[in-house]
Structure 1
Amino acid sequence: MEFLQLLLSGLANGCVYGLVALGFVLIYKATEAVNFAQGDFMMLGAFVMVGLVNPQFLGLNFWLAVPLALLVMGVFGYLLDLAVLRFMFGQSQIAVVILTISLGFVIRFVAGLIWGHEPLNLHSPLAFGDLRLGDVVISFADISVIVVTVLMTLFLWQFFQRTKLGLAMQAASQNQMAAYYMGIPVKRVQGAVWALAGVVACVAGILYASKGTLDISAGFIGIKAFAAAVIGGFGSLPGALMGGLIVGVIEPFASRYLPAGYSQIAPYALLIIVLVFRPNGLFSQVRIKKV
């Protein structure tokens, strides 16, 4: 029973890591840039939801606030690409990395300025009790996280397989020049990718805030999500989610069965092992580019 309890808890945390890791991969596949502010996107999306729902702020109905928060983060992602990131075109990848790290600091500062530095709770109907199965106690928040992640995964899979925009994103990620000559508006597609990454981060933020308290340091979850993306395979969307689940499951078991403190380094120890023996990740999709 303890094994099942730890497994379900790890899967719920892993789903959040996987959704944030998915944002890393989406942007990398479209622009070959790494957005180290993706965790802060998640934190900002959660705080936007808090601002819309909690009584001390706007106090809107939760289900009305969800699409508004997703819209806000989608617009934020698109405008960020339009106003800032497009001017980095042609610059080195390290310059973009430094920019996104700096952006994370700015987001944390602004969030602290607006919502304060004290922990807040999201008034979420997703966290309305526990389900008891014998000796196993499962919170409805954890169940909601797992269910929403499965639905989000199915939606994204259908989006990339069935829609013109999804196919255009895949084409632009594989060869931007060829996509441009085929009539695909590459810059607008990249803006749409940043918007989609903002939406996915917002979903992760809402789920994260539904599980417990929220403060501006929540954005540092992006470090674990980055490790998850690398473990799964940085170019693979399914790999990002699987990497998140692996990291999420490792943590509670390491905390239970290893000496104190080892649970924090267990995901990164696995990351080192994967990089040594399978540098492209466990579920990588390696493509050979002809030049």
Structure 2
Amino acid sequence: MDVLQLLLSGLANGCVYGLVALGFVLIYKATEAVNFAQGDFMMLGAFVMVGLVNPHFMGLNFWLAVPIALIIMGALGYLLDLTVLRFMFGQSQTAVVILTISLGFVIRFVAGVIWGHEPQNLHSPLALGDVRFGGVVLSLADIAVIVVTLLMTLALWQFFQRTKLGLAMQAASQNQMAAYYMGIPVKRVQGAVWALAGIVACVAGILYGSKGTLDISAGFIGIKAFAAAVIGGFGSLPGALMGGLIVGVIEPFAARYLPTGYSQIAPYAILIFVLVFRPHGLFAQVRVKKV
């Protein structure tokens, strides 16, 4: 029973990593850039919900605040692309990586100025109860995390496979110039994918905030989410989810059965192992780039 409890708890945490990893993959699939501020976007989305819901801020109804927060974060993602990232067009991926790392510092600073540096609690109805399965206890927030992550992964996979916008995003990542000559509005497509990544980060932030306290350092889980995306296969949406689940499950078992401190390095040990023996990731969708 202890093993089952650890497994389910790890799956819930892994789904949060998977959602943030989905943001990494979304950006990469559409632009071939890596957004190292994705974890901080998640943190910002959670604090936007705190500002909308908590009584000492705006005090809105939780379910009314959710779509407002999603719109705000989607708009921020689009404006980020419009005002900053488009000026990086044609620059190296290294320059974009440095830019997004710097952006993460800016987001943490702004969040600290607005909401302070003390831990905050999100007033969420998902945090108000537990469900028992025999001797195993799961919070409503954990169940919501698992269900929403599975549904979002499926929806995004269908979006990229079956919609014109999803196919246009993939075409733009393969060859931006060719996509432009084929009539695809490359800049607007990239703006849309940054908006979508902001929305996904906001969903992850809401679910993460429902599980416990929040502070501005919460965005550092983006490091684990990046490891999850690499383990699963960068560019694969199902791989991002599976990588997140692997990292999430490894942590509680390492904390339970290995000496103190090993749970923190266990995900990165798995990452090194995968990079050595399967560099493209466990569930990679290897493709040849057309030039």
TM-score bucket of the superposed structures, by smaller chain = over 0.9
2:98 equivalent in structure 1:
98
Helix, strand or coil at the partner of 2:125: coil
CA distance in 2: counterparts of 1:155 and 1:63, whole angstroms: 21
TM-superposed deviation, 1:177:
2.0
What is the one-letter code of the residue matched to 1:257?
Y
CA distance in 2: counterparts of 1:233 and 1:119, whole angstroms: 34
Aligned-residue Cα RMSD (Å) equals 1.0
CA distance in 2: counterparts of 1:242 and 1:256, whole angstroms: 22
1:55 equivalent in structure 2:
55
- 1:79-228 equivalence runs, <5 A: 79-228=79-228
TM-superposed deviation, 1:127:
1.4
1:243 equivalent in structure 2:
243
TM-superposed deviation, 1:164:
2.0
Write the deviation string for residues 186-240 of structure 1: whole angstroms up to 9, x where unpaired.
1100000100000000000000000000000000000000000100011111111
> Quick check: 2:175–2:290 contact (8 Å CA) kept in 1?
no
Moved over 4 A (4+): none
TM-superposed deviation, 1:154:
2.2
> Quick check: 2:156–2:237 contact (8 Å CA) kept in 1?
no
TM-superposed deviation, 1:181:
1.4
CA distance in 2: counterparts of 1:106 and 1:284, whole angstroms: 32
Deviates most, 88-97 or 71-80? 88-97
TM-superposed deviation, 1:140:
1.1
TM-superposed deviation, 1:290:
4.2
Deviates most, 82-91 or 171-180? 171-180
1:269 equivalent in structure 2:
269
Residue 35 (structure 1) aligned with residue 35 (structure 2): yes
Helix, strand or coil at the partner of 1:282: coil
Helix, strand or coil at the partner of 1:289: coil
Write the deviation string for residues 235-265 of structure 1: whole angstroms up to 9, x where unpaired.
1111111100110010001111111100000
What is the one-letter code of the residue matched to 2:72?
V
**Which TM-score applies when normalising by structure 1?**
0.98
2:69 equivalent in structure 1:
69
CA distance in 2: counterparts of 1:132 and 1:241, whole angstroms: 25
What is the one-letter code of the residue matched to 1:168?
A
What is the one-letter code of the residue matched to 2:44?
L
The percent of aligned pairs where both chains have the same amino acid is 89
CA distance in 2: counterparts of 1:32 and 1:157, whole angstroms: 17
CA distance in 1: counterparts of 2:157 and 2:31, whole angstroms: 20
CA distance in 1: counterparts of 2:92 and 2:138, whole angstroms: 47
TM-superposed deviation, 1:162:
3.0
CA distance in 1: counterparts of 2:158 and 2:30, whole angstroms: 18
Write the deviation string for residues 21-58 of structure 1: whole angstroms up to 9, x where unpaired.
11111111211111110000000000001100000000
What is the aligned residue count? 291
CA distance in 1: counterparts of 2:223 and 2:285, whole angstroms: 22
What is the one-letter code of the residue matched to 1:57?
F
CA distance in 1: counterparts of 2:102 and 2:163, whole angstroms: 34
> Quick check: 2:153–2:237 contact (8 Å CA) kept in 1?
no
CA distance in 2: counterparts of 1:172 and 1:117, whole angstroms: 40
Helix, strand or coil at the partner of 2:127: coil
CA distance in 2: counterparts of 1:215 and 1:166, whole angstroms: 34
CA distance in 1: counterparts of 2:289 and 2:214, whole angstroms: 43
CA distance in 2: counterparts of 1:158 and 1:37, whole angstroms: 25
CA distance in 1: counterparts of 2:70 and 2:256, whole angstroms: 36
Write the deviation string for residues 106-150 of structure 1: whole angstroms up to 9, x where unpaired.
000000000000000101011121112222111111011101111
**Which TM-score applies when normalising by structure 2?**
0.98
